């Protein structure tokens, strides 16, 4: 199957006819081609967006909202079809694509369709100076949205929906590793009646297509989700051009478990926060710290539960872990497991590639649990982004806070305790953009989403996203 670019409401070939392979990770085979778009393709997308902007930016909020709600409904109508496409492209269990990825893509459109109708601007009365200020929030113009492969349609739409709800026109690029559902979104947007040029989707490699979006003089803002090194490169390129930047980057999140937590719930959720989506979620709690008094019990129970997870064909209903997204990524994850023992780690479970009957060339890996002695090891400092977690005991609150914060990343943290005072103390001190207490991945789309330190700059979600995709202008009137 050959994917095309979606520009000005039409599906077109890349100008220079360059294509790259698209893999199905569950069988390790090429199943299609995608454009490797050049500067010329990005320019075509930009021109279409620029032309659509004057009308779209003046379209009433009610009308924008109506179209976005229609997109949301169509995603829901096509849930099975989109989930199957996502699973084939990404390797994730179909059950996950059906319950998390695709429903959330629909929710993203529904949420911002509603949020834009409630988005306020500010007024400030300058008391005693006979002046009144009010702030306009206008759309920026043409904006760029670049997303990763781990939650393909989910994260792609998390950017696009607020961008177009706020009245911008978009040049978007999904990951070249998982382009399929973004391609299908173009058809849905046409069906929903989104005017031509409001959303343009160019496919291709980061260094070529992505770079062309970031370097484009007239694309005024970049919303990027992906790796920290890529984010730093994008910042270096875009900052001298004074572009607005939102960078959602990597994570190395602590999962802190105290003995007073609700044990069974903690255990079941910790299995999920370790291995959901093969551990390829930026919010996974890959560094597990357990209070010494329950450490041995936790170790036994956790390994026991993990050993029962089924690694298999992602289309099988009983599969818990599907394939990793690509061969290079599988090799990268495996390379961390290979250094574990050199670093003094002990593999308690997993660590090996899995051969799935009938899908022998797929990229499968066992869920892996490694006991470590020292938080400063590479396994605990670098983002592995696969089905690999470490476990380590701690004695005191102060000690575990130090471990949790002693890392370059700061995306999320999970805390398991029923002690209210401890919860208040620790949530103040944890260096993270999101802290979950006695839960994980519970998302309310109104809340600010993003990280600190090497996990990024800026926040998505709710009005934060609408603020990012609008330019405030203060008007001061003296009377």
Residues that bind ligand NAD (CB under 6 A): 146-150, 155, 173, 175-176, 206-207, 210-211, 214, 225-227, 230, 233-234, 248-251, 282, 383, 385, 411, 451, 455-456
Closest distance of CB 425 from ligand NAD, Å:
26
| Site of tokens 């599969």 | 319
Q: What share of the chain is helix, strand, coil (3-state, %, to 5)?
A: 40, 25, 35
248 is catalytic: yes
Paired residues of 6 in beta bridges: 11, 201
Query: Rg for the chain (alpha carbons), in Å?
Result: 23
Closest distance of CB 410 from ligand NAD, Å:
10
Closest distance of CB 207 from ligand NAD, Å:
5
Separation between Cα atoms, residue 273 and residue 275, nearest integer Å:
6
Closest distance of CB 177 from ligand NAD, Å:
6
Closest distance of CB 93 from ligand NAD, Å:
18
| Site of tokens 């320019």 | 43
Q: Which is nearer to ligand NAD, 206 or 350 (CB)?
A: 206
Structure tokens at 126: 């300058």
Separation between Cα atoms, residue 82 and residue 376, nearest integer Å:
41
Structure tokens at 156: 């792609």
Q: Which is nearer to ligand NAD, 359 or 455 (CB)?
A: 455
In total, the chain counts a number of residues equal to: 479
Q: Please choose, from the candidates 225, 176, 170, 171, the residue with its C-alpha nearest in 3D space to the C-alpha of residue 204.
A: 176
Q: Which is nearer to ligand NAD, 267 or 330 (CB)?
A: 330
Q: Which of 248, 371, 383, 460 is catalytic?
A: 248
Q: Which is nearer to ligand NAD, 36 or 65 (CB)?
A: 36
Q: Which is nearer to ligand NAD, 222 or 337 (CB)?
A: 222
The H or E element that residue 417 is part of is none
Cβ–Cβ under 8 Å, residues 198 and 175: no
Q: Which is nearer to ligand NAD, 149 or 394 (CB)?
A: 149
Structure tokens at 12: 């077109």
In the complex, residue closest to ligand NAD by CB: 206
Closest distance of CB 50 from ligand NAD, Å:
20
Q: Could you list the beta-strand ranges (E) of 192-280.
A: 199-201, 221-225, 244-248, 254-257
99 alpha carbon, distance to own chain's centre: 16
Closest distance of CB 412 from ligand NAD, Å:
9
Half-sphere exposure of 243 (CA within 13 A, CB side): 27
Q: Please choose, from the candidates 353, 378, 324, 436, the residue with its C-alpha nearest in 3D space to the C-alpha of residue 92.
A: 324
CB atoms within 10 A of CB 69: 17
Q: Which is nearer to ligand NAD, 19 or 263 (CB)?
A: 19
Structure tokens at 35: 């454009």
Cβ–Cβ under 8 Å, residues 395 and 235: no
Separation between Cα atoms, residue 380 and residue 288, nearest integer Å:
10
Active site (catalytic) residues = 248
């Amino acid at each position: 199957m050959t994917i095309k670019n979606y520009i000005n409401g039409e599906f077109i070939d890349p100008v220079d006819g360059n294509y790259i392979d698209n893999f199905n990770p569950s069988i390790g085979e090429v199943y299609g081609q995608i454009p490797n778009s050049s500067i010329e393709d990005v320019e075509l997308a930009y021109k279409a967006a620029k032309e659509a902007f004057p009308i779209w930016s003046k379209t009433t909020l009610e009308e924008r909202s109506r179209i976005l709600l229609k997109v949301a409904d169509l995603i829901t109508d096509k849930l099975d079809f989109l989930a199957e496409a996502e699973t084939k492209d990404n390797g994730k269990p179909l059950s996950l694509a059906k319950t998390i990825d695709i429903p959330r893509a629909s929710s993203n459109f529904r949420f911002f369709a509603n949020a834009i109708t409630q988005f306020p601007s500010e007024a400030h009365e300058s008391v005693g100076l006979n002046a009144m200020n009010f702030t306009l929030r206008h759309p920026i113009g043409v904006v760029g949205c670049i997303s990763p492969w781990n939650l393909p349609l989910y994260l792609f739409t998390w950017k696009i929906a607020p961008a177009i709800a706020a009245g911008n026109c978009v040049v978007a690029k999904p990951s070249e590793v998982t382009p399929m559902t973004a391609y299908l979104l173009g058809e849905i947007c046409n069906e929903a009646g989104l005017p031509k040029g409001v959303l343009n989707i160019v496919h291709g490699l980061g260094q070529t297509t992505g770079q062309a979006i970031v370097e484009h003089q007239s694309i005024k803002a970049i919303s990027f989700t992906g790796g920290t090194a890529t984010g730093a490169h994008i910042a270096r390129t875009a900052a001298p051009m004074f572009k607005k930047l939102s960078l959602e980057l990597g994570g190395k999140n602590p999962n802190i478990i105290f003995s007073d937590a609700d044990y069974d719930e903690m255990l079941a959720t910790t299995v999920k926060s370790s291995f959901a989506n093969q551990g390829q979620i930026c919010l996974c709690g890959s560094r597990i710290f357990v209070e010494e008094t329950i450490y041995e019990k936790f170790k036994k129970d956790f390994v026991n539960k993990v050993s029962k997870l089924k690694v298999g064909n992602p289309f099988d209903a009983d599969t818990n872990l599907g394939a990793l997204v690509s061969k290079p990524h599988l090799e990268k994850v495996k390379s961390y497991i290979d250094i574990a023992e050199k670093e003094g780690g002990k593999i308690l479970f997993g660590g090996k590639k899995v051969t799935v009957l009938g899908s022998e060339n797929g990229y499968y890996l066992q869920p892996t649990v490694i006991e470590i002695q020292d938080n400063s090891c590479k396994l605990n400092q670098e983002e592995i982004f696969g089905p690999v977690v470490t476990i380590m005991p701690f004695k005191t609150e102060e000690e575990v806070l130090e471990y949790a914060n002693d890392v370059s990343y700061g995306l999320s943290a999970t805390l398991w305790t029923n002690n209210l005072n401890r919860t208040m103390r620790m949530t103040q001190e944890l260096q993270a953009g999101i802290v979950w207490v006695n839960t994980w991945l519970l998302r309310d789309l109104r809340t600010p989403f993003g990280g600190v330190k090497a996990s990024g700059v800026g926040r998505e979600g709710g009005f934060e996203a609408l603020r990012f995709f609008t330019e405030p202008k203060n008007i001061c009137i003296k009377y």
